[in-house]
Amino acid sequence: MTGPVEPGPAAAGRLPMLLEAILDVGSDLELGSTLQRIVDTAIALTGARQGALGVLDPDRDRIGELYTAGMTEAERQHLDLLPDGLSGEPDAVAGNSRPPHPADPGAGPRTGAAEPDRPPVRSLLRAPIRVHSEMFGQLCLAGKPSGPFTDTDRALLRALAAQAGVAIGNARLYGTARQRERWIAGAAAVTTALLTRTDAADALMTVAEQARVLAGASAGVILQPTEEGGMEIVTASTLDDPAGIVGTVIEPGSAVLTQLLGGEPVFVDDSATDPRMTTGVRSRFGPSMMLPLQSGGRLIGTLALPRRRGERPYTDLDRLLATQFASQAALALVLADAQADREQLAVYEDRDRIARDLHDLVVQRLFATEMMLESTRRRAGPQEAGGGQEAGARELLGRAVDELDSTIQEVRTAIFALQQPPAAAPSTFRGRVLRETRGAAALLGFPPSVRFTGAVDTLVGEETGRELLAALRGALAAAHRRPGVSAIEVEVDATVRLPDGRGGVRLVVADDGRGEDGGRPTTVTWQAPV
């Protein structure tokens, strides 16, 4: 439709305004502020009372985002920018005071009931905005107080819409670059954090929290496969209480689970209504991404990034960057796990070296010293043959031999403890005895001395071992309750003979405390057949 013709001088007078508006629109690289600036500039150029720019949602054939000027919130809620009007050239819809009808494809902004303090809508002007060859949205103007929109208004809006497409393209490129930069920096931060930590739970929480922030999601959760064939949420980073999320299980047979276990990402528009979602927490969330964490064919788990219901859906760029982040995070998790294994192996190797040194050097020297002292004591002759000084010397030599023998036993016990994995539960009877005494050391304030005689691991059976350990716990607890205890000696001897001639094992727990009568308490002794 052709509008009224504006006098030449009046039209020429608005050219400097157009040039200034074009420069102004292209001066901002933030997409949101650029779109709002386009609406404000269009109103200033044409003298319209109201303006609206609707951004087309390419995945849903509807208006996804809306930028307005000169409109109340109620008018924004009733605005109707129909997607079938997003084609063609800028056109003007002239008319009288009849308000635009929502069924009219050329209606532009719909303001609902006429307001008494506003003049009636006399004409509408709209223009499509294209970015390169892609339809981006529609710019609509309404309510020019001076009358219908003119051909000059159409020309100015056409020029502004063309420049707006260029400005929007630049802003989108800038926004894409910034978004990629944030995800790359986030992936690097996750890799650095994972390679400086060894705790698996902390590593998973780092991935979930960083991904949640980068994606603008309401939660970041990690799911891992279960023994039953499903997947369970093991870690959740959320602004709300994660107690109702952690522990949620995707049961075997779910369509989503089939895709995830096959290494395929799952993108959901609305978790609450999508039939593929079967968990109890799905009603909380809307758009969601579920991305496998896999590296080298190994599936570590799944990273899920749900948003609240009603929030904007994820774009193709969001999905691409999040998928790349998940791949990088999975690789970092594998590297962190391998690094932890290497560090643990280095600890084991160092402990083995210390154990070998103790056995090959310290124990051998102590044993040699003990043999020399024993030989010296024997050469000193029988106790009856010498005088008082010789008897005292023989007694001292005997005590020295006994002390060395006890020291050798304790060093051998330390060697055995070094050969046990520090975080693993001991599988042998000797290891379980050492675990009990180490646990008691935290309460006693000192470590009990432990001595083993005989092949206790071979001779002591499972049932007998449980009874001995129960007796050991009771004896250590009783010693802890007695005053003045500063040393405890624990001895396990698997070489004893019972009265009936069978082989047995004996547990002796002695301390230096005082009994109720002031004397030394009775040593606790327990024995059983092996």
Average pLDDT (459-463) is: 86
Question: Which tokens is 167 given?
Answer: 């400005």
Mind listing the pLDDT tens digit for each residue in 183-216?
A: 988 888 888 878 776 566 778 888 888 899 999 8
| pLDDT at 143 > cutoff 70 | yes
- Of 72-81, 167-176, 230-239, 461-470, which gets the smallest average pLDDT? 72-81
409 & 442 share domain = no
CA 295 from centroid of its chain's CA atoms: 17
Query: Could you give the CA distance from residue 265 to residue 256 in angstroms, rounded to a whole number?
Result: 9
Amino acid at 209: E
Q: Domain check: are 379 and 435 in the same one?
A: no
The domain that contains 215 carries what CATH number? Answer: 3.30.450.40
Question: What's the pLDDT score for residue 344?
Answer: 72
Per-residue pLDDT of 94-135, as tens digits, reads 333 333 333 333 334 443 334 444 444 457 888 888 888 788
462 and 347 assigned to the same domain: no
Looking at 424, 451, 484, the residue that finishes a domain is 424
CA–centroid distance for 174 within its chain? 29
Of 380, 405, 424, which residue sits at a domain end? 424
* Per-residue pLDDT at 23: 67
Is the Cβ–Cβ distance between 164 and 139 less than 8 Å? yes
Q: Using the predicted structure, report yes or no on whether residue 46 has a pLDDT greater than 50.
A: yes
435, two tokens:
């675990």
pLDDT averaged over the chain? 75
Please, which pLDDT band fits residue 48 given cuts at 50, 70 and 90? Answer: confident
* Confidence (pLDDT) at 85: 42
**Are 68 and 153 members of one domain?**
yes
324 lies in a domain? no
Residue 345 has pLDDT above 80, yes or no: no
Domain match, 125 and 227 both: no
Does one domain contain both 209 and 348? no
Q: How far apart are the first and last CA of the chain?
A: 107
Could you tell me the pTM of the whole model?
0.52
Which of 298, 314, 330 is the endpoint of a domain? 314
Q: 166 or 6, which is more confident?
A: 166
Instruction: Provide DSSP, 165-229.
Output: HHHHHHHHHHHHHHHHHHHHHHHHHHHHHHHT---HHHHHHHHHHHHHHHHT-SEEEEEEE-TTS
- What Å distances lie between residue 412 and 346, 437, 449, 453, CA to CA? 22, 16, 12, 11
Domain containing residue 85: 8-177
Residues 228 and 263 in one domain: yes
- Number of folded domains in the chain? 4
- Tell me, yes or no, whether 89 and 171 share the same domain: yes
Token duo for residue 206: 């780092």
241 pLDDT exceeds 50? Answer: yes
Together in a domain, 398 and 468: no
The neighbouring-strand residues paired with 127 are 139
Of the ranges 215-224, 278-287, 344-353, the best mean pLDDT one:
215-224
Site of tokens 């997409």:
31
What is the C-alpha radius of gyration for the chain, rounded to an integer number of angstroms? 42
pLDDT value for 198? 56
Q: 328 in a domain, yes or no?
A: no
- Inside any domain, residue 370: yes
Q: What is the CATH number of the domain that holds 464?
A: 3.30.565.10
Judge if 307 and 410 occupy the same domain. Answer: no
2-14: pLDDT as tens digits: 555 454 445 555 6
Check whether residue 169 and residue 26 sit in a common domain: yes
Specify if 383 maps to a domain: yes
- Asked whether 282 and 266 are in contact (CB, 8 A), the reply is no
- Domain membership of residue 403 (yes or no) is yes
Q: Where are the beta strands (DSSP E) in 204-297?
A: 219-225, 231-238, 249-250, 266-268, 285-295
Q: Which range has the worst mean pLDDT, 30-34, 234-238, 349-353, 476-480?
A: 349-353
Over residues 365-384, the pLDDT tens digits come to: 777 777 777 777 776 665 55
The answer on 132 and 46 residing in a single domain is yes
Question: What tens digit of pLDDT does each residue of 438-447 get?
Answer: 878 877 888 8
What is the SS3 assignment for 64?
Answer: strand
Using DSSP's 3-state secondary structure scheme, residue 141 falls into strand
